[in-house]
């Protein structure tokens, strides 16, 4: 469906070239049921899913974003950057007259 909507064509089409067509659909819950009702319903759903028995007890049921949130919590506000990227950003900052990134 996203291939057709994005103009990239479905992979079964002779017009398909390569890659993934991307379509973002943004929905404002306030326009439908209100934010509070939406958060209540989705919160209840998330709790029910998390309480589901996992197929493998060593691997808990996860929801989208759980892994990323755990990584973010473990590293705090730091975003690890390779030295080469950090050096390139420092060069760009100097060129633009901006502050450089602190090493950490």
25 within domain boundaries: yes
Decide which of 68 and 19 is more confident: 68
Give the residue-averaged pLDDT of 19-45. 94
88 within domain boundaries: no
Q: How many independent structural domains does the chain possess?
A: 1
104 within domain boundaries: no
pTM of the model: 0.55
Domain that holds residue 62: 2-78
Q: Give the DSSP letter string of the chain.
A: -HHHHHTS--TTSTT--SS---------GGGTT-HHHHHHHHHHHHHHHHTSPPSSTTS----TTHHHHHHHHHHTT-----HHHHHHHHHHHHHHTPPPPPP-
- What pLDDT score does 103 carry? 62
55 within domain boundaries: yes
Give the residue-averaged pLDDT of 49-77. 92
Decide which of 6 and 36 is more confident: 36
70 within domain boundaries: yes
For residue 102, is pLDDT > 70? no
- What's the rounded Cα separation, in Å, for the pair 86 and 27? 37
- Average model confidence (pLDDT) for the chain? 89
22 within domain boundaries: yes
């Amino acid at each position: 469906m996203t291939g057709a909507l994005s103009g990239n064509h479905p992979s079964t089409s002779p017009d398909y070239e390569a890659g993934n067509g991307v379509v973002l659909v943004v929905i404002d819950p306030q326009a439908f049921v209100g934010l509070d009702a939406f958060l209540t319903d989705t919160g209840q759903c998330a709790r029910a899913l998390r309480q589901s028995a996992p197929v493998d007890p060593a691997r808990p049921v996860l929801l989208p974003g759980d892994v990323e949130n755990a990584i973010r919590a473990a590293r705090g506000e730091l975003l690890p950057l390779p030295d080469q990227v950090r050096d390139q950003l420092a060069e760009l900052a100097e060129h633009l007259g901006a502050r450089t990134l602190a090493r950490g």
